[in-house]
Chains A and B, each alone.
Chain A
Amino acid sequence: ELKVEQNPLFLSMQEGKNYTIYCNYSTTSDRLYWYRQDPGKSLESLFVLLSNGAVKQEGRLMASLDTKARLSTLHITAAVHDLSATYFCAVNRGGAQKLVFGQGTRLTINP
């Protein structure tokens, strides 16, 4: 059974600092997703990582994938308040893109 675990589940940090969210998964998969969710809103796609060693960056967010370690990281550089949200990773299972989600990491960035 595919399990996806994120840590930390809650993260409070100051503006300007760097931090990393970790996403571990239990069985082989060829695709990993990162989503952002603002309070009361739906999920917004951030990154899709397709291969071992894949790295994608958008603004202050950078995601990477290590399929051998079954680990993805979402790195936040010089955090700003606008990045406060809940971040989910998800891993696909099966050919029809059935996704298994992590629990989510609630990120709060304080001025």
Chain B
Amino acid sequence: DVKVTQSSRYLVKRTGEKVFLECVQDMDHENMFWYRQDPGLGLRLIYFSYDVKMKEKGDIPEGYSVSREKKERFSLILESASTNQTSMYLCASRTDRDYEQYFGPGTRLTVT
């Protein structure tokens, strides 16, 4: 089974802190994605990566950056957390040979 794990299920941070969300997949997938989920808005793509050290902006990249130094790991960075970044963050991965995106369990981030 494909496994996508995220470093924390729940996280509480203060405004202005630097926040790291980690995602690891164990299936050698080329593509990895970060989404945020907000009620009534569905999931929105923040960033994605199609290879190590490669990244592309999604629909809402402002206030976020990403890092992919190893194929299995994709990190989302909030340089200076703000309250409007309180949300559920979901990581996903996909191989080039298949259509399926596999999602991690999510991290619920609260910024106070």
Whole-angstrom CA separation of A41 from B106 in the bound complex = 7
Mostly helix, strand, loop or mixed at chain A's interface? strand
B39 shortest CB reach to chain A, Å: 8
Residues of chain A lying within 8 A (CB to CB) of residue B58 = 98
Whole-angstrom CA separation of A103 from B42 in the bound complex = 4
| Neighbour of A96 across the interface among B42, B50, B105, CB < 8 A | B50
CB of A50 within 8 A of chain B? yes
Interface centre among A97, A100, A102 (most CB of B within 10 A): A97
Residues of B within 8 A of A (CB): 31, 33, 35, 40-45, 48, 50, 56, 58-59, 90, 94, 99-106
B93 shortest CB reach to chain A, Å: 10
A103 touches B99 (CB 8 A): no
Closest B residue to A45 by CB, please name it.
Answer: B100
Residues of chain B lying within 8 A (CB to CB) of residue A69 = none
| Neighbour of A97 across the interface among B41, B101, B105, CB < 8 A | B101
Residues of chain B lying within 8 A (CB to CB) of residue A104 = 40, 42
A42 touches B100 (CB 8 A): no
Residues of chain A lying within 8 A (CB to CB) of residue B101 = 33, 45, 97, 99
Residues of A within 8 A of B (CB): 4, 9, 31, 33, 35, 41-45, 48, 50, 88, 90, 96-104
A48 touches B42 (CB 8 A): no
A106 shortest CB reach to chain B, Å: 9
| Neighbour of B43 across the interface among A44, A45, A88, CB < 8 A | A88
**Chain A to chain B contacts (Cβ below 8 Å), 12 pairs:** A9-B40, A31-B99, A43-B103, A45-B101, A48-B99, A88-B43, A98-B33, A98-B48, A99-B43, A100-B59, A103-B42, A104-B40
A109 shortest CB reach to chain B, Å: 20
Whole-angstrom CA separation of A91 from B17 in the bound complex = 34
Closest B residue to A1 by CB, please name it.
Answer: B59
Interface centre among B41, B43, B104, B105 (most CB of A within 10 A): B43
B44 touches A101 (CB 8 A): yes
Residues of chain A lying within 8 A (CB to CB) of residue B45 = 98-100
A50 touches B99 (CB 8 A): yes
A102 shortest CB reach to chain B, Å: 5
